[in-house]
């Protein structure tokens, strides 16, 4: 994959690899193969039927990335909630140190939950009484149907039904999953050579650009308190019945007469921003062949499967030119590139996907190298990169 690049070449890696959400039946089989130095073949079709997404990249992939990165260089690797453990193990077996776990907070995910009350009635063959209706007004592309098309989304009208059996009444309100609002990313590092300072002097990497990663005050990328200091109450407070109370204030470092940093709040391991909007996804892709929303998510037009939000982003669009299913927000990727890449260093993305990492590199004045195996996705990458190169120039 990286045979043309020498060892210790890249100063950072920011990537969104396959998540392999179809987890294997027995994790011990995977670990046995990895520990024996073998490639684990899952055989699943992967997310939305994509074969390339059938399983997380194994240690043999990350070893090559490890070889090509400089000692002390950071790697940011996105992962799925159900397979982030496997991704971490794979990175560890390749030689990386796991330094932190971060999260992209987007709040708009669709809960893939089974309504146990309805399922019980269906299993008993009992018909539920319709007692009302509700409308789902938002889709996974980041805007409401009314905003996108100026008309109601009648396909998103849902029945409200009452339990028909005693068992269904007992389990009314119970489901099987939470609403996904966060996507994890692992922050790993190739081990230092010597101390931080020794590594910095020899290789020019090894730290995080704290000031470049700060949240401006009021920036919603920081989902916490928006004042300039964070007042905390100790566990001795009378509010919890332990007798007596006290508070203390945590402030950023003092600069001159100011008790807060004018550059912004210290970066945390969370970044809140909506998923990439349709306009952001499509920017630069005007010359690419168009697909209908149904074709983009590989569903049949007019089918119940297309109406289901689980079909994915873009399913309701009249026309789609960027059909990649997992486009990351540009703001998020720019923040990560700034955070882990010293000026003059080259960013690697071995799973380029829709090209957002290299678009972020262009906007942040960093050089980058991306690798993408799918010809259709490669065309999307090229179109989007050309667009952002024009903005940078």
Of 213-227, 242-256, 286-300, the one with minimum mean pLDDT is 242-256
Do 18 and 56 contact (CB within 8 A), yes or no? yes
Of 172-176, 224-228, 267-271, 347-351, the one with minimum mean pLDDT is 224-228
How does the average pLDDT of the chain come out, rounded? 83
Closest CA to 276 of 305, 312, 310: 312
pLDDT score, position 42: 73
What are the extents of the domains in the chain? 10-108+180-214+325-392, 113-176, 288-320
Closest CA to 13 of 50, 67, 59, 56: 67
> How far apart (Å, rounded) are the C-alpha atoms in residues 79 and 66?
18
Helices (H), the chain: 27-35, 59-68, 84-94, 116-124, 145-149, 166-170, 196-203, 278-282, 293-296, 304-307, 330-340, 356-363, 375-392
Predicted TM-score (pTM) of the model is 0.81
Question: What's the whole-number mean pLDDT along residues 63-72?
Answer: 98
> How far apart (Å, rounded) are the C-alpha atoms in residues 95 and 325?
30
Here the tokens at position 93 are 């077996």
pLDDT score, position 27: 87
Do 328 and 346 contact (CB within 8 A), yes or no? no
> How far apart (Å, rounded) are the C-alpha atoms in residues 118 and 174?
10
CATH topology of domain 10-108+180-214+325-392: Rossmann fold (3.40.50)
Here the tokens at position 88 are 């971490």
pLDDT score, position 353: 94
pLDDT score, position 226: 81
Contacts of 352 (CB under 8 A, 6+ apart): 358, 370, 371, 372, 377, 378, 381
Q: What is the pLDDT of residues 359-380, one digit of tens each?
A: 999 999 999 999 999 999 999 9
pLDDT band, residue 24 (cuts 50/70/90):
low
Closest CA to 371 of 383, 381, 360: 381
Q: What is the pLDDT of residues 124-164, one digit of tens each?
A: 999 999 999 987 654 444 443 333 334 444 456 789 999 99
Question: What's the whole-number mean pLDDT along residues 92-105?
Answer: 98
- Quote the crossing angle between the two packed helices 59-68 and 84-94, to the nearest 10°: 50
């Amino acid at each position: 994959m990286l045979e043309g690049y020498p060892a210790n070449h890249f100063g950072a890696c920011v990537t969104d690899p396959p998540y392999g959400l179809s987890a294997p039946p027995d994790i011990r089989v995977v670990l046995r193969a990895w520990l024996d130095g073998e490639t684990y073949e899952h055989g699943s079709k992967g997310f939305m039927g994509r074969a390339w997404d059938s399983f997380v990249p194994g240690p043999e992939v990350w070893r090559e990335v490890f070889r090509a990165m400089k000692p002390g260089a950071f790697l940011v690797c996105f992962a799925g909630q159900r397979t982030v453990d496997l991704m971490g193990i794979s990175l560890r077996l390749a030689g990386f140190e796991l330094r932190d776990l971060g999260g992209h907070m987007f709040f708009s995910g669709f809960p893939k939950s089974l309504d146990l009350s309805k399922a019980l009635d269906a299993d008993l063959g009992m018909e539920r009484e319709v007692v009302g209706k509700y409308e789902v007004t938002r889709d996974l592309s980041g805007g409401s149907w009314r905003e996108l098309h100026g008309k109601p989304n009648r396909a998103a009208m849902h029945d409200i039904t009452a339990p028909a059996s005693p068992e269904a009444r007992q389990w009314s309100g119970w489901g099987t999953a939470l609403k996904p609002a966060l996507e994890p990313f692992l922050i790993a590092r190739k081990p230092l050579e010597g101390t931080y300072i020794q590594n910095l002097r020899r290789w020019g990497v090894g730290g995080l650009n704290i000031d470049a990663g700060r949240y401006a005050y009021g920036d919603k990328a920081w989902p916490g308190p928006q004042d300039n200091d964070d007042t905390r109450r100790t566990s001795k407070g009378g509010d919890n019945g332990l007798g007596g109370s006290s508070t203390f204030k945590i402030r950023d470092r003092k600069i001159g007469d100011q008790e807060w940093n004018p550059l912004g709040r210290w970066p945390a391991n969370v970044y809140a921003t909506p998923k990439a909007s349709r306009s952001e996804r499509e920017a630069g892709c005007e010359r690419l062949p168009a697909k209908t929303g149904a074709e983009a998510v590989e569903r049949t037009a007019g089918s119940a499967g297309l109406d289901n939000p689980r079909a994915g982003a873009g399913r309701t669009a009249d026309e789609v030119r960027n059909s990649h299913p997992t486009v990351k927000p540009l703001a998020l990727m720019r923040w990560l590139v700034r955070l882990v890449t010293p000026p003059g260093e080259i960013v690697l993305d071995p799973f380029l996907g829709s090209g957002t990492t290299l678009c972020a590199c262009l906007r942040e004045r960093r050089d980058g190298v991306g690798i993408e195996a799918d010809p259709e996705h490669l065309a999307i990458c090229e179109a989007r990169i050309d667009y952002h190169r024009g903005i940078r120039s």
